[in-house]
Structure 1
Amino acid sequence: MGNIFFTSDHHFGHANIIRFCNRPFESVEEMDRELIRRWNEKIQKGDDVYHLGDLALNSAEAFTEIMDQLNGNIHLIVGNHDATALNKRKRFAWVKEYYELKVKDETCANGVQRIVLLHYAMRTWRGASRGTWHLYGHSHNTLPDWENSLSFDIGVDCHDFYPLSYDEVKAIMKQKTWTPPFEVGER
């Protein structure tokens, strides 16, 4: 098994996203090339990638061409701009609307870190009071980060157009001021 990565909101092929999000690219072709380069700079062939939606807004042919260049086993959490991806489900390890990932991590309680993955931000989620993380996209860095919440926007607009590894996500979560609302075992 390879490493685990998270990302969202690439919007491959979407020229207007450059203007909407003030992305530093002159054209959609430049943006797509750079996003592919940054993806592959971090992700290797055997790595697992959890993409939290809005992967591409382009033709089936252009979508296939981009997918052929991306490293990793891609798991897609459906966003609001994934019609082309939904017509190409076989290109993914799986496609889901929502997912609760369990990552083996000996530094966590019970040796597992739970992560709720959804395209959209939630104020609370299953296990939020017990240290479960929540990663989301969609907002393109427009929502304020809550320091006392174990959640944040994993979208490329928030992370210099790079995906983040599990360890990078963990480091961000460790900076949060969140504390459990009750003692373990208490209900």
Structure 2
Amino acid sequence: MGRVFVISDHHFGHQKIIDFESRPFANAAEMDEYMIEQWNAVVSQEDKVFHLGDFSFYNKEKTKAIVERMHGTKSLILGNHDRGRSKAWWLDAGFNDVSEYPIIYQSFFILSHEPIYMNKHMPYVNIHGHIHGQKYEGQHYFNVSVEHWDYKPVSFEDIKNSLVPNEEQ
């Protein structure tokens, strides 16, 4: 297996998200193409991507066509806009696995759609989306909404490196 990536909140096919989040696209079709290109620019077929929700506003046929064009093994954690569709719907649309709940990854990272309350004494890091261009302060939160990453999935290696203070040896 290759590298592991995380990303959230593509909102494929959602014209209004362009205005809501000041995305630099003329229309949803232009946005969709750019986001697929950005995904495939960093993700190979051997890689795994955790998508933290709010993937597509399209019907199953159009959603499946997008998923099939995107490299890697894809896991979906359902976001608030994904929940109107069943787990089976998302599997049929091409995701390799689907979770209705947050996932604990490598016993340290909590992958969720919405940020989870984390007090300063908790040793975990919550990797999340949902809040788009906003950002929570502190070392307990890492926002992987597409707006922060030029619509490219973020590698776990980069996330880990950003959380570890640089120490001179």
Per the TM alignment, residue 130 of structure 1 is displaced from its structure 2 partner at its CA by 5.6
**Runs of 4+ displaced beyond 3 Å:** 83-86, 128-131
Number of paired residues? Answer: 162
Match of 2:136 in 1: 145
> Cα deviation per residue 1:54-83 (whole Å; 9 max; x = unaligned)?
011111111011011011111111001114
TM-score (structure 2 length as normaliser): 0.88
> Cα deviation per residue 1:102-138 (whole Å; 9 max; x = unaligned)?
1xxxxxxxxxx6210110112217xx74632210110
Choose which of 124, 138, 155 in structure 2 pairs with 1:132: 124
Per the TM alignment, residue 89 of structure 1 is displaced from its structure 2 partner at its CA by 1.6
CA contact (8 A) 1:58 1:84 kept: no
CA distance in 2, matches of 1:39, 1:136: 18
Per the TM alignment, residue 150 of structure 1 is displaced from its structure 2 partner at its CA by 2.3
TM-score (structure 1 length as normaliser): 0.80
Per the TM alignment, residue 162 of structure 1 is displaced from its structure 2 partner at its CA by 1.2
Choose which of 87, 92, 101 in structure 1 pairs with 2:95: 92
Q: Is 2:110 the partner of 1:116?
A: yes
Per the TM alignment, residue 37 of structure 1 is displaced from its structure 2 partner at its CA by 0.2
CA distance in 2, matches of 1:20, 1:50: 24
RMSD of equivalent CA atoms: 2.0
CA contact (8 A) 2:128 2:143 kept: yes
CA distance in 1, matches of 2:153, 2:19: 21
The amino acid across from 1:88 in the alignment is W
CA contact (8 A) 2:132 2:147 kept: yes
Choose which of 146, 157, 166 in structure 1 pairs with 2:156: 166
Per the TM alignment, residue 165 of structure 1 is displaced from its structure 2 partner at its CA by 0.3
Larger Rg: 1
Identity of aligned residues (%): 31
Q: Is 2:77 the partner of 1:77?
A: yes
Match of 1:54 in 2: 54
Classify the secondary structure of the residue corresponding to 2:65. helix
Gaps spanning 5+ residues in structure 2: where?
Answer: none
Classify the secondary structure of the residue corresponding to 2:137. coil
Classify the secondary structure of the residue corresponding to 2:69. coil
Higher relative contact order (CA 8 A, sep 6+): 2
Q: In 2 relative to 1, CA 30–175 (structure 1 residues): closer, same or farther, beyond 3 Å? A: farther
Classify the secondary structure of the residue corresponding to 2:147. helix
The amino acid across from 1:174 in the alignment is V
